[in-house]
A and B are shown apart, each in its own frame.
Chain A
């Protein structure tokens, strides 16, 4: 079982959250080319290692947050609140 620390509700079973995949910047839909937009929609780095992801606390506070997770070991770092930058120095949470 993967325990994901929601910044508002605390540790939650991953089954109770919605996993929204890799987090990356959305290009400006007004100025980007169709190719750029489709790359944003479909292409993924999919690393075997640390990955910044979007999660949605669907059966808790119903808020979105980001968190860094190691895709091989399942380790998690501190969740990232909106407006903050992710950092590896915040201490690992498991």
Chain B
């Protein structure tokens, strides 16, 4: 039974601190050596376990080196864990789903995917490297791509499943959890370099590998994965936007979030609890009605409800008429909710890593190398990207994707591309945990605040962006004061609650509050930036679309309206429903 695929060397001894295991990329050298030695020893032992699927492939040996050859760093693990496996049911399920595809005739079944989880008869033992079976990701590839992939087959497979059986097994054997992604070696050439290891960058890498078979990809991040906006947002997702472009886009994102736990096999704790946007003025109520109608036309579940209905949904809100800003109604969006943002980052990182994508943390991009452009040093429009210069050395790549927030302008300027972006901090705060009392996500545009309660019981508050553009992420007293006042306006009952902490994240604001996605005047340099205050909601779909854009060389319809050229052509997409607060 295999629980980790695409992991770094395994620890020889179980770690005493389980939380250490969650942080990918930190492998100390002694452990690496020990693990490598153990691996070598185990690999040398005659008679590796036979897996059930091997019986299915009668000419399995034909596959030889291209089959399930154990990855050098994982050999021991695979061997040990295949002692318990549950191959057949999984294979049958995959087949029912149409994911298992025979390649080269019925006798030669290709297996690339997670066929190696589950329970297997421990007494059957034989060499393992002969199976060639292929499931979903590769079945999406074109034939020529599939051929090119075979060499790396042991490496390019979706992550193994976490399961209750596995949990029990590990618990009984007191096994530690392995690292979730590798710490790859620094290579000087990749097909695609993605700058930014947040939800957007990792999702792009994941979908490049899973949907398009492009796995020679590096994701570089200045700090650790998810250290920027992906770990700082208030984790709210919704799709009740105002423009048809925006609605279509975010609805796809919500779909992906819905199926994410299954796709990534990691519980992202998506809580579809309903989203309320409060209206305190007649004009706000009119806008809510407008948004509701636009949403209904697009097939989104969204409607305007009365104060009485609001009270029923969320009893802690003060809907009386004698407050300073009485609540006149609300836009109710049942599919909206919250999601655990770290899990989304880890899920995509784990998935991308399993496909063979290299995740380089603590690797700062110092320059983007461009040739033949019209600007200084051959940069700027008309040029062609040749790679990036990082703090660990140069990487040569024909395609560079800028998936950063906060530093999008800086990085694009390195390639000679000027963006319509200004960077503002957005502050958020969280209270001490209390018993659950707030069943919905509450947003008030007029009061510049949004509130949701986490599974732990903390109230998470967010506000609009600070008015002055800055890269400084320090908190301000003005924010705390204003926030407290406005929250108490909505929920007077929580006046005794204490704030636990506050933080800020950087938001790249565009003039029309819509993102900038797709190609730029510099050939091979793509951007996925300008997400303002709502990048997290759009992470999965933008990753999917950017991957399609990079892989096919054409901009998909869904993101066509958001190209950089709209600013010079004057076709802006005014997304006033963007963050629901501040504008």
* CA of A50 to CA of B511, assembled, Å: 22
* A42/B567 contact (C-beta < 8 A), A2-B468, A72-B472 known: yes
* A45/B570 contact (C-beta < 8 A), A22-B422, A72-B472, A74-B470 known: no
A48 touches B471 (CB 8 A): yes
Does B410 interact with chain A (Cβ within 8 Å)?
yes
Task: Tell me how many residues of A have a C-beta within 8 Å of chain B.
Answer: 23
* A74/B472 contact (C-beta < 8 A), A22-B422, A34-B570, A39-B568 known: yes
B469 touches A72 (CB 8 A): no
With a cutoff of 8 Å between Cβ atoms, the chain A residues found around residue B419 in the complex are: 43-44, 46
A71 touches B471 (CB 8 A): yes
A19 touches B420 (CB 8 A): no
With a cutoff of 8 Å between Cβ atoms, the chain B residues found around residue A19 in the complex are: 467-469
A38 touches B568 (CB 8 A): yes
Q: How far is the CB of B35 from chain A (nearest CB, A)?
A: 41
> Which of these, B410, B468, B472, B477, contacts A47 with CB under 8 Å?
B410
Does B29 interact with chain A (Cβ within 8 Å)?
no
Does A21 interact with chain B (Cβ within 8 Å)?
yes
Does B17 interact with chain A (Cβ within 8 Å)?
no
Interface string of A26-69 (1 = CB under 8 A from B): 00000000110011011111111000000000000000000000
With a cutoff of 8 Å between Cβ atoms, the chain A residues found around residue B569 in the complex are: 38
B568 touches A21 (CB 8 A): no
A44 touches B420 (CB 8 A): yes
Which of B438-477 touch A at CB < 8 Å?
467-472, 476-477
With a cutoff of 8 Å between Cβ atoms, the chain A residues found around residue B472 in the complex are: 71-74
A43 touches B422 (CB 8 A): no
With a cutoff of 8 Å between Cβ atoms, the chain B residues found around residue A47 in the complex are: 409-410, 413
With a cutoff of 8 Å between Cβ atoms, the chain B residues found around residue A34 in the complex are: 570
With a cutoff of 8 Å between Cβ atoms, the chain A residues found around residue B409 in the complex are: 44-47
Q: How far is the CB of A10 from chain B (nearest CB, A)?
A: 19
B469 touches A35 (CB 8 A): no
Task: Tell me how many residues of B have a C-beta within 8 Å of chain A.
Answer: 24
B420 touches A43 (CB 8 A): yes
Does B478 interact with chain A (Cβ within 8 Å)?
yes
* CA of A2 to CA of B418, assembled, Å: 28
Q: How far is the CB of B405 from chain A (nearest CB, A)?
A: 12
A72 touches B477 (CB 8 A): no
With a cutoff of 8 Å between Cβ atoms, the chain B residues found around residue A45 in the complex are: 409, 413, 418
Dominant SS at the B interface?
A: loop
Q: How far is the CB of B317 from chain A (nearest CB, A)?
A: 28
Does A88 interact with chain B (Cβ within 8 Å)?
no
B423 touches A46 (CB 8 A): yes
* CA of A8 to CA of B483, assembled, Å: 32
* CA of A15 to CA of B567, assembled, Å: 30
A14 touches B568 (CB 8 A): no
A1 touches B469 (CB 8 A): no
Closest to A35 in B: B568
> Which of these, A1, A42, A46, contacts B478 with CB under 8 Å?
A1
Interface string of B117-153 (1 = CB under 8 A from A): 0000000000000000000000000000000000000
Q: How far is the CB of B425 from chain A (nearest CB, A)?
A: 11
> Which of these, A1, A43, A48, A74, contacts B418 with CB under 8 Å?
A43
* CA of A89 to CA of B269, assembled, Å: 55
With a cutoff of 8 Å between Cβ atoms, the chain B residues found around residue A21 in the complex are: 422, 469
* CA of A38 to CA of B469, assembled, Å: 21
* CA of A21 to CA of B468, assembled, Å: 8
A43 touches B471 (CB 8 A): no
Closest to A22 in B: B422
> Which of these, B421, B468, B568, B570, contacts A46 with CB under 8 Å?
B421
With a cutoff of 8 Å between Cβ atoms, the chain B residues found around residue A41 in the complex are: 511
* CA of A66 to CA of B580, assembled, Å: 31
B567 touches A46 (CB 8 A): no
With a cutoff of 8 Å between Cβ atoms, the chain B residues found around residue A35 in the complex are: 568
Closest to B482 in A: A15
Interface string of B411-434 (1 = CB under 8 A from A): 001000011111100000000000
With a cutoff of 8 Å between Cβ atoms, the chain A residues found around residue B467 in the complex are: 14-15, 19
B468 touches A14 (CB 8 A): yes
Q: How far is the CB of B19 from chain A (nearest CB, A)?
A: 32
A44 touches B421 (CB 8 A): yes
Q: How far is the CB of A25 from chain B (nearest CB, A)?
A: 15
With a cutoff of 8 Å between Cβ atoms, the chain A residues found around residue B477 in the complex are: 1
Q: How far is the CB of B336 from chain A (nearest CB, A)?
A: 31
Closest to B567 in A: A42
Which of B537-583 touch A at CB < 8 Å?
567-570
* CA of A47 to CA of B418, assembled, Å: 11
* CA of A46 to CA of B421, assembled, Å: 7
With a cutoff of 8 Å between Cβ atoms, the chain B residues found around residue A15 in the complex are: 467, 478
Q: How far is the CB of A42 from chain B (nearest CB, A)?
A: 4
Q: How far is the CB of A82 from chain B (nearest CB, A)?
A: 22
Q: How far is the CB of B520 from chain A (nearest CB, A)?
A: 12
Closest to A15 in B: B478
* CA of A74 to CA of B413, assembled, Å: 22
Could you list 28 examples of A-B contacts with CB < 8 Å?
Answer: A1-B476, A1-B477, A1-B478, A14-B468, A15-B467, A15-B478, A21-B422, A21-B469, A22-B469, A34-B570, A35-B568, A38-B567, A39-B568, A43-B419, A43-B567, A44-B421, A44-B422, A45-B418, A46-B409, A46-B410, A47-B410, A47-B413, A48-B410, A71-B470, A71-B472, A72-B472, A74-B470, A74-B472
**Nearest 8 Cβ contacts at the A-B interface:** A46-B409, A42-B420, A42-B567, A43-B418, A72-B471, A48-B471, A19-B468, A35-B568
Given contacts A19-B468, A21-B469, A45-B413, 9 further A-B contacts (CB under 8 A): A22-B422, A22-B469, A35-B568, A39-B418, A46-B421, A46-B422, A47-B409, A47-B410, A72-B470
